Amino acid sequence: MSLKKPIEQQAAYVLHSRPYSETSLLIDVFTSGFGKLSLLAKGARRPRSMLGNVLQPFQPLLISCAGRGELLTLSSAELSQKVNLVFTGRTLMNAFYINELLMRLLQKHDPYPDLFESYGDALAGLHDAADKEWVLRLFEVRVLHALGYGLNLDVESVSGENIQAEAYYAYRPELGFVECDARESNGILIRGCSLLALSSGISPVDEGRKQILLETKILLRAVLGLYLGNKPLATRSLFKKSLQYAYN
C-alpha cells in the first residue's frame, strides 16, 4: 500500500499488538475507512509515552499514520470518546475471540465500513447484553456477510421456498440449507427456527433457547472453519485450558 497522503484522524480499534525493539510496538488496527492496517508505533513502550495507555484493545481511537508498503508509521493516537468497557473472565476471552476472527479473516487495506460498525456494536453487546453468546453468533454472521460468504438464512436452497420454523435443514457448503429428515447425517443438521432466529437477530428467549444457541454455534463454527483453515484459533485453545484449570 502506497498512501498518496497521510491518513488523518481515522476511527480505529487495536486488534493485536506486540513488542518491537526495546521501545516500540507493532500493532494491527481495524479502521473504518481503510480496513485492517499494520502500524509501527515508535516509542510506545517508553515509560513516559502516553501511547502505551491509549493503544489498548477495545477502545475507540482516532489515529493518524503515513508511509509506504505494508507497514505504516503511527503519528498520533487518541481516544475518540470516553468509554468504560472493562472485560474480565469469559467475556474478555469472547472479546479477544472477535479480534482474532478479524485478524485471521480480513485482508489488509480492504475497507469494511459496515463491519466496523458491527464490531463496535459487538463490543458494546459483550459489555452490556445479558445474552453474550448471541452477540457472538450475530457478529459471526456479519463477518461472513462482509467477506462475501453470507448465509441465506431465509430460503431453502433447492426449492427456493421460505425456511419453515418446524422443519429440519442440512447445511451443505456447495448448496446452502437443504430441507431434510430429522435423522439426516449428510451435513450439519439445524432446525428452521434456529435459522430464522439468526436471520431476525432477535435473541431467543423461549424454552428452546439452549438448543438454538447450540445449533447456531455448531453451524457457524463449521462455516467459519471453511475460511479459517486448519490452524486452530488461539482464543479457543486458551479457553479450553482455562476450563481445565478451573476444574482441576
pLDDT tens digits, residue range 187-205?
899 999 999 999 999 999 8
State the pLDDT confidence band at 247, using cuts at 50, 70 and 90. very low
* Segments forming the whole domain that contains residue 172: 89-247
Task: For residues 142 and 243, state if they share a domain.
Answer: yes
Task: For residues 55 and 126, state if they share a domain.
Answer: no
Task: For residues 227 and 128, state if they share a domain.
Answer: yes
Q: What is the CATH number of the domain that holds 25?
A: 2.40.50.140
| Phi and psi based region of residue 179 (left: phi greater than 0; alpha: psi -120 to 50; beta: remaining) | beta
Q: How many residues does the chain have?
A: 248
Task: For residues 119 and 13, state if they share a domain.
Answer: no
Task: For residues 28 and 120, state if they share a domain.
Answer: no
Q: What is the pLDDT of residue 165?
A: 96
Has residue 186 got a pLDDT over 70? yes
Task: For residues 105 and 209, state if they share a domain.
Answer: yes
Task: For residues 66 and 94, state if they share a domain.
Answer: no
Task: For residues 175 and 236, state if they share a domain.
Answer: yes
pTM of the model: 0.92
Q: Which of 163, 126, 117, 145 is nearest to 224 (CA)?
A: 145
Could you tell me which residues are beta bridge partners of residue 172?
Answer: 176
> Which of 58, 79, 100 finishes a domain?
79
Task: For residues 34 and 98, state if they share a domain.
Answer: no
Q: Which three cell numbers stand for residue 197?
A: 432466529
pLDDT digits (tens, 9 = 90+) for 207-245: 889 999 999 999 999 999 999 988 888 887 776 555 444
Q: Is residue 84 part of a domain?
A: no
Both ends of the chain: CA-CA distance in Å?
49
Q: Is residue 188 part of a domain?
A: yes
The percentage of residues in the chain with a pLDDT greater than 90, rounded to a whole number, is 79
Pairing of strands 7-20, 61-66: antiparallel
State the pLDDT confidence band at 2, using cuts at 50, 70 and 90. low
Could you tell me which residues are beta bridge partners of residue 180?
Answer: 168
The count of domains in the chain is: 2
Q: Which three cell numbers stand for residue 211?
A: 438448543
